[in-house]
Structure 1
């Protein structure tokens, strides 16, 4: 009898498992997947390490320690997006502009209209974040044709701390010179965009002419600043998001580097 009970029990279990296999997509209770604490900690440590490395990379970008680079590190795409769209970028832009204001207010202008402040345009006065947001915040290789099309739309918004500085400099009596790597054929769109964004009454807008094509940004901008000095202009301040906006020859009395972890121009 015990033997028969054993046989029946085995049969029942077999039928039960056969039925379970047939309906394997149905579970008798909710499926809860939990990482072991060790795995969770390892993932947190990995995230922390990536952020640490991206922090270090961005610091070295701003310190001008890195060799020319074409895209941001692959693992830093989300990091750069979070930085640029968050409060940190805004605070750093505000601090740079505030320091520039303090310096400008300390300068005793000669009063002959020859004291000049030079501004770059892209990522200095105008923000191209709407464009770069659609192109991986610097994680994609730069496409000149696509960016040119964006420039011609003339819809880039003002960088508000820079606009505030710009107006303050005008009120103080500085002559404003806009020196950009944009090409001469983009003049009309650039003027329209600047006006739409709130910038006005600059003394001159210098863009790359045909003979300037192929020159490095340092070479090109140094030449243009040298031409200003030959005219007798005094370059008191210079604001730009690239080191190539600020370095070279005929540099300003003080230069102000604005943050930009998205791209590098030599």
Structure 2
């Protein structure tokens, strides 16, 4: 009997022990069925890790999206740059076509008018002018004229010395940008300085300079005064177009006058011009120089 009572007492004490253990664990951790137990600290760390992984995953997605957009923008920029370069190369080739065929400005493609304005206003014309002049200077640096004064250099002055150095660039005028004359005047002034420097170097080396222009003989006095006022002097002759020559193609006019110089006993060492019509036809110099053109 007493043995049976002892067994019952042990049985009744077991649930109370389990209840007490569960009560103690409830205050410090979690029991996950069936039998996996986490403390409060471990649970917090686990949850924080999940949050961190989620944040990192979102961050990676955002970074990938930004990189993809950047690549698309970069590719678009490369394509646009490629198109810009292609357009510029086309316009350079077309400019040569214009010069060779003596085309009018109206025959410029619209895109090339834009590049021609950029070429003049943004300094590329002055850079090219300086480089082409350096080529001429390098050539004449190693040459000396004969003492008889018959070795001459024929200089086309029409782009070197416009009748009005502040006149509006024709493409600026036609594009509605004629209010930017200050820029035009500055560029032409700097070009004038470069021309003057070249001519002074040639004169100091003993070369005789003959000026030639497409202007009529009626403008002789005005043109002479303007040349002297601008600092150009010491030329033996200024060739201008007669009335009969006004109906003549310009390249034929230049060729005709070169032939006359040769018949007078002069030796044409060089023709220097920024326009192809002055460098076309017979009786050219031994070495001729095409300078940068402010329009092409």
Question: Above 0.5 in TM-score?
Answer: yes
**Structure 2 equivalent of residue 136 of structure 1:** 171
- 8 Å contact from structure 1 (residues 137, 262) kept in 2: no
1:116 maps to which of 143, 152, 156 = 152
2: CA distance, partners of 1:50 / 1:207? 42
Segments of structure 2 that go 5 or more residues without pairing to the other structure are 1-68, 176-187
TM superposition shift of 1:50: 4.8
- 8 Å contact from structure 2 (residues 160, 192) kept in 1: yes
1: CA distance, partners of 2:83 / 2:76? 10
Q: Does 1:91 align with 2:127?
A: yes
1: CA distance, partners of 2:249 / 2:104? 15
Change (3 A) 1:256 1:62: farther
Task: Judging by fraction of residues, say which structure has more helix.
Answer: 2
TM superposition shift of 1:229: 0.4
Q: Does 1:55 align with 2:125?
A: no
TM value normalised by structure 1? 0.69
Change (3 A) 1:138 1:123: farther
- Based on CA coordinates, which of the two structures has the bigger radius of gyration? 2
**Structure 1 equivalent of residue 201 of structure 2:** 168
2:289 maps to which of 250, 256, 259 = 256
Change (3 A) 1:207 1:229: same
Segments of structure 1 that go 5 or more residues without pairing to the other structure are 1-35, 141-155
Of the two structures, which has the highest relative contact order with CA contacts closer than 8 Å and spacing of 6 or more? 1
TM superposition shift of 1:208: 0.5
TM value normalised by structure 2? 0.63
**Structure 2 equivalent of residue 223 of structure 1:** 256
Change (3 A) 1:41 1:168: same
